[in-house]
Amino acid sequence: MTQGRKDRFDVAVLGAGAAGMMCAAVAGQRGARVVLIDHATRLAEKIRISGGGRCNFTNLQAGPANYLSNNPHFCRSALARYTPQDFLALLRRYDIGWHEKHRGQLFCNNSAEDIINLLRAECDAGSVHWQTGCTIDEIRKEGDDFLLLTKQGTVRAGAVVVATGGLSIPKIGATDFGYRIARQFGLKVVDTRPALVPLTFDGQAWQPFVPLAGVSMEVDIATGSGKMAGAFKEDLLWTHRGLSGPAVLQISSFWRPGTPID
Ligand SMILES: Cc1cc2nc3c(=O)[nH]c(=O)nc-3n(C[C@H](O)[C@H](O)[C@H](O)COP(=O)(O)OP(=O)(O)OC[C@H]3O[C@@H](n4cnc5c(N)ncnc54)[C@H](O)[C@@H]3O)c2cc1C
């Protein structure tokens, strides 16, 4: 940890979503001087809408095989060092009630807001400095430090963590900022595409199935071949616009346009 300038932080975490808040909290509690910056004024909007408002915060069977990555080993050490049981221990400390819904999926009894409050309290326990409603215009390297030029002035930090999330739901704050910063600093970025999403259909073609909206059924669902083959036994949910539920969200990560889903 570097001592000295008061306006200098050890770590600037960009993005106050699930990843950024957890990272800031842990770094702060380990003694780093941390600033957490977000352009939104409301914290962690994606957590708020997750799991239908109750946040499916972990799965008892979560393991490396559940993660898709060009580097399948990437998640191994993280999952080994922080297990679903570790997160449950944290929930117990905050007296947050939860229940298992189906196949190891854990949800809050009350509301996703409980998880946001927990993360906020964990950040406070690490004396994290908040800078919300703050747009970052540019990031520069100056010697060993990073300079963040923001609408609220310049922030100097020894390390920058980019946790500005993926591209889904721009109307609640998602941007391609993380990808742009990665490219600026010469990091390779793989092509992005939707994953864990419902499948929607052309309105006219879907009309005959609209009366089924709300019906849920267990299905065997599969698509693709070779390395990109996906097959699940899960619940499928009919909706007014198409198909959703765990089976469809899972298979969407494997589906390629033009490939049948069986
Ligand atoms: C409808 C829906 C339901 C979901 N349900 C679940 C669920 O039940 N369980 C589950 O595990 N996952 C669920 N997910 C996925 C989960 O919400 C995300 O994977 C997770 O919240 C991502 O967290 P994150 O911190 O990486 O990114 P985000 O939560 O997207 O946070 C990124 C933050 O960065 C900020 N930001 C973006 N650009 C900038 C910028 N230029 N400058 C400053 N700040 C910026 C944003 O305002 C945001 O606060 C769901 C997602 C959706 C869309």
Angle at 15 between CA 56 and CA 82, to 5 degrees: 50
Q: Is the shortest distance between the CB of 23 and ligand 1 below 6 Å?
A: no
CA torsion sign, 168 to 169 to 170 to 173?
Answer: negative
Closest among 239, 246, 247 to 215, alpha carbons compared = 239
Structure tokens given for 149: 């030029």
What ranges in the chain are assigned the alpha helix state H? 18-29, 45-49, 76-81, 84-93, 113-125, 177-184, 203-206, 246-252
CA of 17 to the centre of ligand 1 (A): 5
What value, to the nearest 5°, has the Cα angle with vertex 73 and ends 248 and 83? 75
- Structure-token match 């007296």, residue found: 95
**In whole angstroms, what is the distance from residue 241 CA to residue 232 CA?**
22
| Distance between CA atoms of residues 35 and 245, nearest Å | 37
pLDDT at 175: 86
Q: Is the CB of 15 under 6 A from ligand 1?
A: yes
**Where are the domains positioned within the chain?**
8-55+111-184, 199-252
Which residue's alpha carbon is nearest to atom 5 within ligand 1?
50
Atom of ligand 1 nearest to the CA of 173: 47
Which strands sit side by side in the sheet containing 105-108, from one edge to the other?
Answer: 56-59, 105-108, 98-102
pLDDT tens digits, the chain, 262 residues: what are they? 444 566 799 999 999 999 999 999 999 999 999 999 999 998 899 999 998 899 999 999 999 988 988 888 989 999 999 999 999 999 999 999 999 988 899 999 999 999 999 999 999 999 999 999 999 999 999 999 999 999 999 999 999 999 998 888 888 878 899 999 999 999 999 889 999 999 999 989 999 999 999 999 999 999 988 877 889 999 999 999 999 999 999 999 999 988 999 9
pLDDT at 172: 81
Give the closest residue (by CA) to ligand 1 atom 13. 50
Give the C-alpha distances (Å, rounded to integers) separating 2 from 6, 28, 37, 59: 11, 14, 20, 38
Q: Which one of 3.50.50.60, 3.20.20.140, 3.30.1520.10, 3.30.450.20 gives the CATH number of domain 8-55+111-184? A: 3.50.50.60
Whether 242 is in the pocket of ligand 1, judged by its Cβ within 6 Å, is no
pLDDT at 39: 92
Distance from the alpha carbon of residue 172 to the mean position of ligand 1, in angstroms: 9
Long-range contacts of 174-181, Cβ-Cβ distance < 8 Å, separation of 24 or more: 175/39, 177/14, 177/136, 178/14, 178/15, 181/14, 181/139
Residue 2 is predicted with a pLDDT of 46
* Residue 92 identity: R
CA gap 232, 49 in Å, rounded: 25
In this structure, are residues 61 and 104 in contact, taking their beta carbons and an 8 Å threshold? yes
Atom index in ligand 1 nearest the CA of residue 174 equals 37
- Alpha-carbon separation of residue 89 from 61, 95, 108, 123 (angstroms): 16, 10, 14, 17
Closest C-alpha residue for ligand 1 atom 8: 51
> For strand 230-238 and strand 242-244, is the pairing parallel, antiparallel, or unpaired?
antiparallel
Q: Is the minimum distance from the CB of 56 to ligand 1 under 6 angstroms?
A: yes
Q: Is the CB of 20 under 6 A from ligand 1?
A: yes
- What separation in Å is there between the alpha carbon of 244 and the centre of ligand 1? 19
Q: What is the CATH number of domain 199-252?
A: 2.40.30.10
Contact indicator for 215, 238 with CB cutoff of 8 Å: yes
What pLDDT does 5 receive? 63
Atom 23 of ligand 1 has which residue's CA nearest to it?
A: 18
Between the CA of 22 and the centroid of ligand 1 the distance, in Å, is: 12
For ligand 1, whether the C-beta of 16 sits within 6 Å is: yes
Tokens 């070779």 locate to: 226
CA-to-CA distance for 198 and 242, rounded, in angstroms?
7
Q: Which of the 8 DSSP states describes residue 225?
A: -
* Atom 26 of ligand 1, nearest CA residue: 165
Angstrom CA distances, 9 to 97, 117, 126, 169, stand at: 35, 24, 13, 31
| Ligand 1, atom 11, residue with closest C-alpha | 57
